[in-house]
Structure 1
Amino acid sequence: MRIHVIGIGGCGMNGVAQLAAHAGYRVSGSDRATGLDIFQTLEKQGIDIVPQDGSGILKDTDFVVYSTAIEQGNPDLEKAQSLGIPLLHRSEMLAKLCKGNEVIAIAGTAGKSTVTGLLGHIFQCMEKDPTVYCGAAINNFGSSVRFGSKGGPWIIEVDESDKSFLHFYPAHAIITNIAEDHFELPELRKLFTQFEEQVAGTLIKQPERFECPSPLIGRHNIENVNNALTLCKALGLDMQKCIEAIASFKGIERRLERHGDYVIDDFAHSPIKIEAALEAVSEVWPSFNAVWRPHGFTPLFQGLNGFTAAFATEKAQRAFILPVYYAGGTVNKKITSEQFVEKLQAAGVPAEFVPDFQCLEKRLLEDGRPVLLMGARDPELPRVARQLAKKL
């Protein structure tokens, strides 16, 4: 069967593409961004990367896979609709690939990727040979996916932000936490209650406490480790070996990832994640600068008070705010980063707007303090982190 994946550069999308190719599908994909590092990995697996102009949608394409981020008017989407080709959401395709396997699903507002990576690594060390699907690259595997043996367990990250986790009926699951992010709390609680009812076996919501040395910084990562170990205990695994496996876990790409001695890069894009990152880094450096790129106009507008409160914790010496990341498409630009900086300054936060990466680098090098770089979606952020690490 042939499938085409729109927005294949994203971790969730390239992960589905890789799993589909491994399962025997003929896979092509497109992305608005060009020249992404992940494209080389995909092409080595026989996945064709084509322009996002509709040309990759062929008459013999069986499904077109899309994500919630793909808007109406996208050339690939329009071509598929004109040809009557069925559309599958990313989560529906993943559920299709998982079918017939024991699925362990990791859900929650924050910590999903880290717990997924931890469990995948532990299961590998325990010779369970899992298939793993994560929302970010797991450094031990060098990829956001791991191909396990046929019939082995599938450890997957599932997402509440677009309600897509409701496509899954896992054997076991972990809910890391529930906090207001993409929906208000009452609606979130209803969604998670429905998800809980779809779990056939063990469900972890409140982790046990374990004495476990961890290479990960931050109190929130103690919770992540405890969540992973609590499920391992419930499934009857050898806990001493599980704890030993934690020591060799190398973390998740862009989850408090160290670059050199003076730069830490993090995916933080919501108030709870920004606050956790600031707290964790303050344990490493007594004085540092924080950089954040908002990942969308609507999320910044809706979470304005929460974002302001997160930066007002006085952990960072100074907050440098980049322009809101905009990848094109139709969007209501309800607020700007300049307006957010004004809000931060009014709350007593030493904040500064920087218009681009060149100005940012100049300011950070002038100051000389260590840097926490935060933000989602923009593929330039990890590259900037690596470049900055060479100069600080």
Structure 2
Amino acid sequence: MTPQLELASLGRVHFIGIGGVGMSAVARIMVARGVAVSGSDAKDLPVMQDLAAAGARIAVGYAAENLGDAQTVVAGSAIRADNPELAAARAAGLPVLHRSEALAATMANDRVVTVAGTHGKSTTTSMVAVLLKEAGLDPSFAIGANVPALGVNAAHGASDIFVAEADESDGSFLNYRPLIAVVTNVEADHLDHYGTAEAVYASFDKFVGLLPGNGALLACADDDGARALAGRTAARGTTRVLTYGTTDDADIRLHDGGPGDVWVSDGAERYRLDLQVPGRHNALNAAAAFAVAVELGVDAAAAAAALGHFTGASRRFEFKGEGRGIRVYDDYAHHPTEVRAALSAARSVAGGNKVHVLFQPHLFSRTREFAREFAEALNTADTALVLDIYPAREDPIPGVTSTLITEYLTAGSLVAAGEDAVAAVLAVAGPGDIVLTVGAGDVTAYGPRIVESLGG
């Protein structure tokens, strides 16, 4: 765990891989806070043009001279060791920071709200930011997805509140120093980094151990892992612990009777939530955002009303279009629990019609660990079509293919990428049905293709 840096100590900052959603978020806020920022990426991405317009010096392609007079370098997680800019930075003895370290320095003097958890981080962080903005607090925020209601995924606000998504996948959330920490859930995932489920749980214990005595942990009582974390934290007595959820003993009680019948209670009053996003998981995320706002002094009724302005985050049950009466959505879900939640949301939107999912497993290691669980989640759809594994950062593992999932499907099959996948979806979907593309890889490109083929 790196000691927390101050923003002023970084000097001129160069970002290698500045076009990435997380990297551009930090760069955008640094520019707004008066830091001299430069950056490069392999491709000329739209966000790079935005950063250049804001005052950053941007280069397309990697070259050692792009470093210029940088005093600190931030390297994206996908940057290879032989990248010429990274090699030049190390040869010059410049400090090279992980994105999380740069973000931690950016928000070192703020009241920090972090949202951690195996699932739901981006949506919940987005809800908190939208709610606080609607309530007039104007927070700074950095989110791992674009948010339509905010227009961007990161911004410098006028208040001293900073809302950030805290990623546990590589342990980098331990670089933050939150005042309020939301934990949506704790499950075994990212075992390629952690090795064991016990190591995952231990990392969350370390994370909440960073909270100060005047801070607060807000944990989901409906999730066994988060509930256990709350219990262990309360037993240590080092910070306040509040829970939210549908359980009778939750401090912030959620009632979810479906659309039009959702409310939260702080123990004294009930407040109706008119949510524009479906699913129990989103109702729980909203309860977490409500709890954060109340902790920060927002009037409870105003907080509940503000949640009605949240319209979703990019790739979180995102509507892509419609044709022939068939609605197409896309979701980033890449863990069995997330897949099940996305399909539950689709079912609530479909009414009595069918739900068809096109799923792309993400990572060989995750497929190996959770093949049966993925199949059980996919079996809640009427039809499940599965693409080959998206490898991302991993090399193939012998014997690990998507058939580890499809062999357990009751109404599904393996499909080839491209037009075969589109045709397979069109063959099963009918008027009124929902089609959902799911996964963290390039499956997201299929939504628009399916809509186009439907004539939408």
Give the TM-score, by structure 2 length: 0.78
Q: Does 1:364 align with 2:425?
A: yes
Change (3 A) 1:367 1:31: farther
Paired position in structure 1 for 2:33: 23
Paired position in structure 1 for 2:267: none
Paired position in structure 1 for 2:52: 43
Paired position in structure 1 for 2:277: 216
Paired position in structure 1 for 2:261: none
Distance 1:323 1:74 in 2: 29
Aligned ranges 1:80-91 → 2 under 5 Å: 80-91=89-100
Paired position in structure 1 for 2:361: 294
Residue 277 of structure 1 and its aligned partner are, at CA, apart by 0.8
Residue 307 of structure 1 and its aligned partner are, at CA, apart by 2.4
Residue 87 of structure 1 and its aligned partner are, at CA, apart by 0.5
> Do the aligned partners of 1:52 and 1:76 also contact (CA within 8 Å) in 2?
no
Distance 1:90 1:102 in 2: 19
Residue 270 of structure 1 and its aligned partner are, at CA, apart by 1.4
Residue 24 of structure 1 and its aligned partner are, at CA, apart by 2.2
> Do the aligned partners of 1:344 and 1:350 also contact (CA within 8 Å) in 2?
no
Change (3 A) 1:35 1:265: farther
Residue 256 of structure 1 and its aligned partner are, at CA, apart by 0.6
Question: Residue 144 of structure 2: which of 125, 135, 143 is its match?
Answer: 135
Residue 250 of structure 1 and its aligned partner are, at CA, apart by 1.3
Change (3 A) 1:300 1:3: farther
Question: Residue 186 of structure 1: which of 177, 180, 198 is its match?
Answer: 198
Distance 1:59 1:43 in 2: 16
> Do the aligned partners of 1:67 and 1:89 also contact (CA within 8 Å) in 2?
yes
Question: Residue 340 of structure 2: which of 275, 285, 289 is its match?
Answer: 275
Instruction: Report the aligned-residue RMSD.
Output: 2.3
Question: Residue 309 of structure 1: which of 369, 376, 381 is its match?
Answer: 376
Residue 68 of structure 1 and its aligned partner are, at CA, apart by 3.5
Q: Does 1:198 align with 2:210?
A: yes
> Do the aligned partners of 1:28 and 1:56 also contact (CA within 8 Å) in 2?
no
Residue 291 of structure 1 and its aligned partner are, at CA, apart by 1.3
Distance 1:241 1:364 in 2: 43
Aligned ranges 1:145-294 → 2 under 5 Å: 145-149=154-158, 151-183=159-191, 184-200=196-212, 201-205=215-219, 206-207=243-244, 208=252, 209=254, 210=264, 211-261=272-322, 262-285=327-350, 286-294=353-361
Change (3 A) 1:28 1:386: farther
Q: Which 4+ residue blocks in structure 1 deviate beyond 4 angstroms?
A: none
Paired position in structure 1 for 2:395: 332
Residue 119 of structure 1 and its aligned partner are, at CA, apart by 0.9
- Quick check: 51-60 or 363-372, which moved more? 51-60
> Do the aligned partners of 2:181 and 2:211 also contact (CA within 8 Å) in 1?
yes
Distance 1:364 1:56 in 2: 49
Distance 2:427 2:316 in 1: 26
Q: Deviations over 1:329-350 (max 9, x none)?
A: 7x4211588x32x223321333
> Do the aligned partners of 1:103 and 1:154 also contact (CA within 8 Å) in 2?
yes
SS at match of 2:282: helix
Residue 169 of structure 1 and its aligned partner are, at CA, apart by 1.3
Residue 321 of structure 1 and its aligned partner are, at CA, apart by 2.3
Q: Does 1:100 align with 2:109?
A: yes
Change (3 A) 1:290 1:165: same
Q: Structure 2 counterpart of 1:4, which letter?
A: H
Distance 2:366 2:319 in 1: 27
Distance 1:51 1:354 in 2: 37
Distance 1:80 1:357 in 2: 41
Residue 61 of structure 1 and its aligned partner are, at CA, apart by 1.6
Distance 1:387 1:70 in 2: 30
Residue 219 of structure 1 and its aligned partner are, at CA, apart by 0.9
> Do the aligned partners of 1:52 and 1:75 also contact (CA within 8 Å) in 2?
no
List runs of 5+ in structure 1 lacking aligned partners.
none
| Percent identity over paired residues | 31
Change (3 A) 1:135 1:315: same
Aligned ranges 1:348-387 → 2 under 5 Å: 348-369=409-430, 370-378=434-442, 381-387=443-449
